[in-house]
Amino acid sequence: MDDRDLQYQKYKSILENYLQEQSEQTLYKGQQFSRKMIEQKISPEEAVSLHVSVLEELFPDIPQRLKNSYDFLLEMMIGYGFAYREHQSLRSRQQQLESEIEIAANMQQTLLAGDKPDVKGLDIGAISKPAQKMSGDYYHFVQDENNCMSVAIADVIGKGIPAALCMSMIKYTMDSAPEQRMQPGAVLENLNRVVEQNVDPNMFITMFYGLYDPRVHSFYYAGAGHEPGFFYDAEKDEFEELYTKGLVLGVSKKTSYQEYQRVLYGNDMVIMLSDGVTECRSSSGFIERDEIVAMIRKYIHLSAQEIVDEVYRELERLQEFELRDDFTLVILRREV
């Protein structure tokens, strides 16, 4: 007996049962049988045909008119079969696409993996979480032979794959101009030129770039339209905005970026973030920058990494675990 016969016999016995006694149990068996048929990719027209051939065996003298009506039903079901098979094929294509995206996302993770450097006297915390599979946020640390550490944090306006592709370009550009690393303003000017020339005009990138020189405990920075970070003055126990002046990358060919400097004393902190942090939305509206500050303050006794982790966890909870935008938060703290 082949599969088809087996199926026929099984269906026949369930149907006979049901005709004898209309029990819920038999209907349940029918439901299970139909699930099996779907697993075996039996199309709707085949299911109807199965039913009709069983009927014809059970009731050999069905009127011809009724038989004809089954042929008509079969014809109708072909269209459903058409749609059903298209659905199956689209589904397998979707799975294929998803696994491709998965691979690309892993590649991006390796590419952007911002290994936190070990800088003497500096406590560093960093977290970056994509809203979708691929991130349009970016952060990157580079440490040079003088122990100076540069940090870049960028956000592509837009999400998902296009933003991620754009991000990779930023990374390569940064890697290819190491001599500029010491001048935040020049780094942004160079990037602006590359973005302006290579990226679709509807795509913008904001960036904050900073350099910490542990020899003089100074932080030099510049920003291109990026969400302002915070500076925490430990002595005064106050947070202030880390304001920068400069146009978003890719808007105009010739733009210059002003450079700023801050000296860090013991326990002072520099806090950098993407707008995914401040644009978190809870049921009661946007989360205010003050609230972010309050959260940081709440965990200020912890290490820099623990602070960013806790803030992320809290915001994630506030948004009911649904990130709307890529989220990146970086904290530098001068150790005492």
> Residues interacting with another protein, by CB under 8 A?
45-46, 49, 52, 71, 74-75, 78-79, 81-87, 89-90, 93
Three-class SS state of 259: coil
Q: How far is the CB of 84 from another protein (least distance, A)?
A: 7
| Least distance to another protein, CB of residue 3, Å | 13
Asked if residues 262 and 234 have their Cβ atoms less than 8 Å apart, the reply is no
Torsions phi, psi for 134 (to 5 deg):
-115, 150
Token pair for 135: 């991130």
Task: In angstroms, give the least distance from the CB of 185 to another protein.
Answer: 48
Q: Exposed, middle or buried by CB within 10 Å (0-12, 13-18, 19+), for 41?
A: exposed
Contact partners, residue 285, CB within 8 Å, separation at least 6: none
CB of residue 38 vs another protein: minimum separation in angstroms?
Answer: 17
| Integer Cα distance of 222 and 179 in angstroms | 17
Least distance from another protein to the Cβ atom of residue 11, Å: 15
Question: Do residues 226 and 207 lie in contact, with contact meaning Cβ atoms separated by under 8 Å?
Answer: yes
For β-strands 218-224 and 260-263, DSSP reports them as: antiparallel
